[in-house]
């Protein structure tokens, strides 16, 4: 249980009602719906949807397979480019990527092909008697992957396909990273993240060692010595802080900590609920937190952002989800003070109203207060510098807080690669992390082949 919220009540709703509230956000397509939707695709020769897809899925080809009732072929086409295509179909912001680029997304039709739902339909309905991808003959090479999130899993799978042995070092009890611990429960239901991991591992040649944390009981120096290559997919493990007095008071918590607890809970009726809550932030994590608190039974949920709607990281689609769940979106207000009651617990927050002047954010001098039993911060994830505290890790070149990599995803240390959120390359999206892992695996494989040929 989350200690800092232990003084809060539990949901009024029963287990069955809560399960219904947290059911699938987007119901899957039926066979008839999939047939009709796939028939809308024009199978463009220079398909803009493919260019908009970070993992470069051949979208027209897999949709054509669906229209020809070749579901197996559609799924294999997707998975060959994105081995986590099932989860990406559920959590990827298709509305600003492939579907936004769809040629049918115009003023006359106003309706792109529903690529995300078609991708999910293909993955969910494919019947594989065995893993669709086979391992190449054993190469004799061993690669260490740090982090069993989307980037690490993608990298490990592609390396295993090439015949390499892979050991994944993961700090937590379960693999999956953000998909397992950080996505809203209503987006990935029925333990889908673990079922996807189990499917991925069926290729063989991948070992996951849990309870190993870089910077704690694992060092980059040792991995570099013991393995032929190393891939870092360590994400952004720390939450940014407000820097205000009272930040550690009971009732104030990082949204990611609560979401993790919620996703791992077998009994939603035992979760603490703030009847009045404030969520600070403007990204998808903030939306996920606010919506889930509303679904648990909070009667007053305010999401507060220091800038305007157009600068929010959450897409318009995500904002609509929040509004549909009675979340109030407040903009142009930044935290000014944490308000505490006589017991030292959170009772609300004071905000300073803001405005833009010459491209910079300024306070107007006006303030207002919001009452709250809990405050959840979703103001961004930070790089955990403690993870790179051994001598070799300190040699890694940084780009801001994150790890610098070149176009081949190689770091400044030869033989060490990195991808996903721990780098500054591309967008902080699950689908982008999957692509990083795949590209890094290909780069590692090519490098190992060159070394073999040179020998």
Look at residue 186 in the predicted model and tell me its pLDDT. Answer: 95
Ranges of each domain in the chain: 31-125, 142-236+383-454, 239-381
Residue 183 CA to residue 333 CA, distance in Å, equals 26
* CATH class of the 239-381 domain in this structure: alpha beta
pLDDT given at position 237: 84
Same CATH topology for 142-236+383-454 and 239-381: the answer is yes
Q: What are phi and psi of 145, to 5 degrees?
A: -120, 125
Residue 359, pLDDT score: 85
Which fold does the domain 31-125 belong to in CATH?
Fumarate Reductase Iron-sulfur Protein; Chain B, domain 2 (1.10.1060)
Question: What confidence score (pLDDT) does residue 454 get?
Answer: 52
Per-residue confidence in pLDDT tens, the chain, 455 aa: 588 999 999 999 999 999 999 999 888 999 999 999 999 999 998 999 999 999 999 999 999 999 999 999 999 999 999 999 999 999 999 999 999 999 999 878 879 999 999 999 999 999 998 899 999 999 999 999 999 999 999 999 999 999 999 999 999 999 999 999 999 999 999 999 999 999 999 999 999 999 999 999 999 999 999 999 999 999 998 889 999 999 999 999 999 999 999 999 999 999 999 999 999 999 999 999 999 999 999 999 999 999 999 999 999 999 999 999 999 999 999 999 999 999 999 999 999 999 999 889 999 999 999 999 999 999 988 888 888 889 999 999 999 889 999 999 999 999 999 999 999 887 789 999 999 999 999 999 999 988 665 54
> Which of 297, 291, 263 lies closest to 378, judged by CA?
291
Report yes or no: 281 and 377 within 8 Å, Cβ to Cβ: yes
Domain spanning 142-236+383-454, CATH class: alpha beta
Instruction: Tell me the C-alpha distance between 191 and 259, whole Å.
Output: 15
Q: How far is CA 89 from CA 105, 182, 201, in A?
A: 19, 16, 20
CA distances (Å), 343 to each of 339, 346, 370, 394, in order?
Answer: 11, 9, 18, 43
- Element containing residue 98 per DSSP (H, E): helix 98-101
Q: Give tens-digit pLDDT for 132-141.
A: 999 999 999 9
What tokens appear for 335 in the block? 């935290």
pLDDT of residue 393: 92
112-166 pLDDT tens trace: 999 999 999 999 999 998 899 999 999 999 999 999 999 999 999 999 999 999 9
Find the largest Cα–Cα distance for the chain.
Answer: 72
Strand pairing class (398-399; 402-403): antiparallel
User: Is the CB of residue 191 less than 8 Å from the CB of residue 152?
Assistant: no
The predicted structure's pLDDT at residue 426: 78
Only one residue has tokens 């229209």, namely 67
Asked whether 394 and 388 are in contact (CB, 8 A), the reply is yes
Distance between CA atoms of residues 77 and 82, nearest Å: 9
Axis-axis angle for helices 31-38, 59-67 (nearest 10): 130
**The pLDDT of residue 66:** 97
């Amino acid at each position: 249980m989350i200690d800092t919220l232990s003084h809060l009540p539990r949901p009024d709703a029963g287990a069955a009602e809560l399960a219904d509230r947290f059911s699938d956000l987007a119901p899957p397509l039926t066979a008839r719906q999939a047939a009709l939707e796939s028939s809308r695709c024009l199978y463009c020769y220079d398909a803009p949807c493919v260019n908009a897809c970070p993992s470069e899925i051949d979208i027209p080809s897999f949709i054509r397979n669906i229209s020809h009732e070749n579901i197996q072929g559609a799924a294999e086409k997707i998975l060959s480019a994105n081995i986590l295509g099932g989860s990406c179909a559920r959590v990827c912001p298709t509305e600003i990527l492939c579907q936004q680029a769809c040629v049918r997304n115009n003023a006359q039709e106003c309706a792109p092909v529903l690529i995300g739902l078609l991708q999910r339909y293909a993955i969910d309905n494919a019947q594989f008697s065995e893993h669709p991808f086979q391992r190449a003959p054993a190469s004799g090479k061993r690669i260490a992957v740090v982090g069993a999130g989307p980037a690490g899993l993608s990298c490990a799978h592609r390396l295993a396909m090439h015949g390499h042995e892979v050991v994944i070092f993961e700090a937590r009890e379960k693999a999956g990273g953000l998909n397992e611990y950080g996505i809203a429960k209503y987006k990935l239901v029925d333990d889908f993240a673990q079922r996807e991991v189990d499917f991925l591992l069926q290729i063989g040649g991948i070992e996951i060692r849990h309870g190993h944390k870089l910077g704690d009981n694992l060092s980059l120096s040792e991995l570099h010595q013991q393995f032929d290559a190393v891939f870092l997919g360590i994400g952004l493990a720390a939450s940014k802080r407000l820097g205000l007095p009272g930040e550690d008071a009971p009732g104030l918590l990082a949204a990611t900590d609560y979401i993790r607890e919620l996703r791992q809970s077998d009994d939603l009726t035992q979760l603490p609920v703030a009847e009045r809550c404030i969520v600070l932030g403007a990204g998808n994590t903030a939306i996920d937190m606010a919506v889930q608190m509303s679904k648990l039974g909070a009667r007053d949920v305010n999401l507060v952002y220091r800038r305007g709607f157009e600068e929010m990281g959450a897409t318009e689609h995500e904002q609509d989800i929040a509004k549909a769940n009675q979340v109030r979106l407040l903009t142009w207000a930044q935290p000014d003070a944490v308000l505490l009651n006589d017991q030292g617990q959170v009772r609300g927050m004071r905000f300073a109203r803001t405005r833009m002047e010459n491209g910079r954010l300024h306070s107007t001098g006006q303030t207002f207060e919001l009452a709250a039993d809990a405050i959840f911060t979703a103001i961004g994830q930070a790089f955990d510098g403690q993870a790179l505290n051994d001598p070799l890790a300190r040699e890694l070149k940084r780009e801001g807080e994150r790890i610098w990599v070149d176009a081949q995803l190689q770091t400044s240390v030869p033989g060490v690669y990195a991808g996903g959120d721990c780098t500054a390359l591309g967008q902080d999206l699950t689908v982008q992390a999957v692509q990083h892992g795949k590209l890094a695996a290909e780069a590692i494989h090519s490098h190992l082949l060159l070394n073999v040929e040179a020998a």
